[in-house]
Amino acid sequence: MSILAFCHGNAAGHLLLLIIALMITYGSVSAITPHFVPDQELIQSPIIVVARWEKAPLRRTEDAGYSTEIVVERVVKGDLRPGTHTVYEVCWRENGEMEVYWPIDGLEGVRDVREPNLYFIEREASADGGRPATRLRVQFVRGVQPLSSEPYFTALSSEDPTSAVARLLDAEDPLMVLRALAYVNGGKFPWPYEWCGGAPTGHGPLTQHAAAVERLLDRREREVRGPAAVVFFQLSGKRCVPRARSLLGDEEESIRATAVIALATHHDSESAGSVCATVKSIKNAGWACEVIEALSSWGEEGIVPALVSFLRSDGCASWSNVGDLGIPALKARAALHKLTGHWFPFEVDLSMAAWNQVTSLGDADARKRRLAELLPCEPEPLRAKLIDHRTVQITNRSQAPVAITTVPSQVMGRCAGGSVQLDLERIPQGGKDSVVLNPGESTELPVVLVAPLLPDNPATRRLAFTYEKFAKDANAGRWVG
């Protein structure tokens, strides 16, 4: 939750803002992101060759693309002969770097087209001086793949691709393993490993390969173990519980978090105590948010200590699958309220001590009443008010001191026309990190409003102040929201 301030003010008129998105072309970059060509379509290309680019000129074509010459070293499929050939719709820079439009190609893609790579080419009609002709067109962007991926594409084009690709799970090359993992999972990785690539295969997850995927957890490569864990848990269903329990002590935070999520998903009550101990080591805000989401859905009171341990986890998840602010402490408090009916303060030790006192009370309402006595808490203690066009007043309306950072993490202005991020006036260097507001006290922040927020219509305009970090130099009452 953010602090909201309604905007009041006068202006001579309304300012019409025209926001124009400009796509800047560089080298062979297209102005519009091209259609993603999945691997299953790439192997249908009539010509597949191993080729390299020897820095031949990149020429602009009439259809706003680029052409150049490549040297074909070996023909995998089709009627093209080794040697130099002109190709169209190339998508690389003069330094040999491929353009990247999708995460899969950033992780697994070609590093340098000056080295031998796998090319997927088709013939297309062309007009040369008004005479009908054909030309060679590279499958745009994804039509150049690393040469190391040839075994994968060979398996994909075999008579039994399901078995052939699955055998690559035992390959030494992490690239081959990741592509095989995506394939056996139905073509895509679960969150948060979408960046590993893949595309729908036309078949669902191949659960018969769960054991082969589980073996990947014994490998050392981090880029393999994380995706393998989420795929294994998905393929195995509840059968994954024993292995998930054993991974709670894994050295990798992502593996520990994935194991907690799997156990919570399958409501494994026997592991509740171990889960509570494990989550204390999960510091990444993105993983913390996902773990909290899974624990909240589990809904077992035995995991209250696990949620309490996140009450001081601040920061904002740079990636999250849950569509909120991504602040673990906020999510944990909301989950605790859903589970217990009480709003907990952002104090781990006090909250844990209070919970230990009420666990012996068998009645949920009795626990709720006792928690209210032990841990009185106002969930939204602050109120913001715009007192002029350059100053916002933030007031503590609760009955206890509240500490916030001197400067919010973000200020957003919202009006009928949309939203815009605002800049705060510079805070003097050497100022304190935090501001402590006693009950009824206020602090003022200088802000710079933009024109769309100035016209009179306070019902549709407001400022949202987001505090993502706890104040470091305050002793009590620290708050985020």
Domains of the chain: 3-9+379-466 (2.60.40), 39-150 (2.40.50), 267-377 (no CATH)
As given in the structure block, the two tokens for residue 385 are 């008010």
pLDDT score recorded for residue 195: 58
pLDDT score recorded for residue 296: 94
pLDDT score recorded for residue 190: 72
Question: pLDDT tens, 34-49?
Answer: 567 788 889 999 999 9
- Is residue 74 within 8 Å of 49, Cβ to Cβ? yes
Handedness of CA 244, 246, 252, 256 (dihedral sign): positive
Which residues of the chain fall below pLDDT 50? 4-32, 105-106, 321-323, 428-430, 456
Identify the bridge partners of residue 131 per DSSP, sorted by sequence position.
128
As given in the structure block, the two tokens for residue 362 are 């068998």
Strand pairing category for 131-138 and 83-88: parallel
Contacting residues for 43 by C-beta, under 8 A, at least 6 apart: 120, 153, 156, 157
As given in the structure block, the two tokens for residue 39 are 């691997």
**Pseudo-torsion of CA 359, 360, 365, 368, nearest 10°?**
-40
pLDDT score recorded for residue 10: 34
Give CA separation, 122 vs 33, 79, 125, 335, in Å.
20, 11, 10, 54
3-state class (DSSP) for residue 454: coil
**How many residues in the chain?**
481
H helices present in 158-221, as ranges: 161-166, 174-184, 210-215
Question: pLDDT tens, 362-402?
Answer: 888 999 999 999 999 998 999 888 787 778 889 999 998 99
Residue 199 CA to chain centroid, in angstroms? 18
